[in-house]
A and B are shown apart, each in its own frame.
Chain A
Amino acid sequence: MPPALEYDHVTFGYPGQRDEAGRPRLALDGVTLSVKQGERLGILGPNGGGKSTLLKLTLGLLREQKGSIRVFGQSPVGARRAGLIGYVPQRLEAELAFPITARQAVAMPAALRVAPWRGMSAEQSHAVEEAIALVGAESFAGARVGELSGGQLQRVMIARALASRPRLLLLDEPTVGIDPAGQQQFSRLLARLHETLGLTVVVVSHDIRTVALASDTIACLSRTLHSHGAPEGLTPQLLADVFRHDVAAIFGDVHVDAHDAKACKGHTHAPPKEPRA
């Protein structure tokens, strides 16, 4: 059984992006990480730390410059076309003024596979209804997307990803704009999907609570992979390395005491290369 995700020394830099010395600035540098099938991984990192880039590479929207990525043993593009990847983007970017129902939104990816002169097949419609039922969105499936609450809209987005019956669920910043009660609901839903469908789940976020709620293991990403292991391995020192001066931002009101740091239980893949400020 191949791993769900296998990143082997993945390196990527956007053209034209250079550091002060004029060298190409890399968005991702030698990222090596393997995710077993059925694992729940959280990828934690600061904004601009390469999280979105890693997602785009995984979806095959960008191509790695060095190294390789395999998704269930296939190329990212092949895995995406085969419907193995269910992607849940940040919902803030959808045009909620668009007058479609939640059900229509869920059916959109499936509809792409239908020839223009045909309607959706009965099997496809069934898959859409099944996905709506899986996330418990039956009661508002007929409502306009603009009328849904943040939590409801998120369930619709997850249903849209599930409608192709994927084996990997990729979620990008899933808790932005969702209240604490909604976040609890979200993590319960994710746990249930993981259990009933045996999905591999990857949650990408800058928010440590989101990642901790939804994952068995956590990888810290800031251009390079700083660690990968159980959540207990996240020490304030490690987070300070990953987030630089942004620790206060991710912890919010949580008190951080560096002297109280537990030993890092995760195994470190690559040490931070730059000297600490």
Chain B
Amino acid sequence: MNTIRYLSDPTLAPLLWPAIVTGLAIAALCSLLSVLVAIKRLAFIGQGISHAAFGGVGVAAYGASLGAAFLASPLAQFGVVFLFCLGAAVVIGMLTSRGKTEADTAIGIVLVLAMGVGAILLRLARSGVAVESFLFGDIFMVDWTDAITAWVVALLVLGVLWWVRRPLMFWAFDEPAAGAWGVHRRGMQLLLLCLLALATVTAMKLAGVILTTAMLVLPGASALRAGRRLGGVLVLACVVALAGVLGGLVLSFELDWASGPSIVVVLSAAFALARLIELVRARRRNFA
């Protein structure tokens, strides 16, 4: 059992615990959002936002290498990457209102452009950090500052979600009707996209830019298949997200895999299980 040995090792443990504490915050944060992502079919938009983060990483690294010392601080980096994600979210949100095709194309462009710019700037910055770490996540990039930031963001997002839960649920269930009852449709969409951007930046170091979307899609998609009631679905999404993060980290310790792919493997297994439950339930109903 590598996991237990690593976590009790006096030199390794201080490097690993921040990743675990961060992971718990990410699970809490992403699980509730992922239910909304699954219902409002925002998976591809989430993809665009998370890839925009890579462009932000490149800009922050390049700026720091040019001598903008303030960009070297973790909080400033968080800010730059968040602004990038937010920008992508707003652009995508604006284009979505004009129609599905245009949004699809726009997301495709934002996605590759941010990746390209990020790759070039990271190379120019010669930061010494492997590009794969940003793409697939790296436990050792996560320190206590990240862990604290992650929990602050998670509590903030959960607080906002709780505060707007009624208009948000109405909007998610029946958007035209919610509009007719005075819910601001564009406002709700922008708010959700902003929260997605925050979640993306928080999850990025651990899950990686490419795989962060997994946290924003799979818990919700699994929970909607296996759960019956709203409360149950939300709890299930949390359980799946926690299992994904903790299981993924254990896999990562045991097999020395990158953290992002390990999390994705566990989340996908949970999704397969949820789909199985759904199939069995449907079959039972048909024979009943």
Contact = CB atoms under 8 A, between A and B. Distances in A.
Contacts of A98: 39, 169, 172-173, 230
Interface in A119-151: 144-145
A89 B227 contact: no
Contact of A112 (B163, B166, B229): B166
Task: Please tell me the size bucket of the interface on A.
Answer: 20 to 34
Task: Please tell me the size bucket of the interface on B.
Answer: 20 to 34
Contact of A116 (B163, B224, B232): B163
Contacts of A89: 174, 176-177, 180
Contacts of B165: 116
Interface in B54-113: none
A111 B232 CA distance: 20
Given A98-B172, A112-B166, A61 B180 contact: yes
A108 B176 CA distance: 13
B182 A94 contact: no
Interface of A: 59, 61, 80-81, 87, 89-90, 93-95, 97-101, 104-105, 108-109, 111-112, 114, 116, 144-145, 157, 160
Contacts of B228: 99, 144
Main secondary structure of the interface of A (DSSP, over half): mixed
Contacts of B229: 99, 101, 144
Contact of A109 (B38, B176, B181): B181
A260 to B, nearest CB: 40
B177 A94 contact: yes
B287 interface: no
Given A89-B180, A116-B162, A95 B39 contact: yes
B172 A112 contact: no
Interface in B149-206: 162-167, 169-170, 172-183
14 contacts: A61-B180, A89-B176, A90-B176, A94-B173, A95-B40, A97-B224, A98-B169, A99-B229, A100-B169, A105-B173, A108-B170, A108-B174, A109-B170, A112-B183
Nearest to B183: A112
A171 to B, nearest CB: 12
Given A97-B39, A99-B230, 14 more contacts: A59-B180, A80-B181, A87-B181, A95-B173, A95-B174, A98-B39, A98-B173, A99-B229, A100-B173, A101-B229, A108-B178, A109-B170, A114-B166, A116-B163
Interface string B219-232: 00000100111101
A80 B39 contact: no
Contacts of A111: 166, 170
Interface centre among B164, B227, B228 (most CB of A within 10 A): B228
Contacts of B178: 108
Interface in B113-144: none
Given A99-B233, A116-B163, A93 B174 contact: yes
A30 to B, nearest CB: 25
B224 A99 contact: yes
A109 B171 CA distance: 11
A121 B273 CA distance: 40
B14 to A, nearest CB: 40
B180 to A, nearest CB: 5
A144 B228 CA distance: 8
A214 B177 CA distance: 22
Contacts of B164: 116
A160 B227 CA distance: 25
A80 B165 CA distance: 22
Interface in B204-245: 224, 227-230, 232-233
Contacts of A144: 228-229
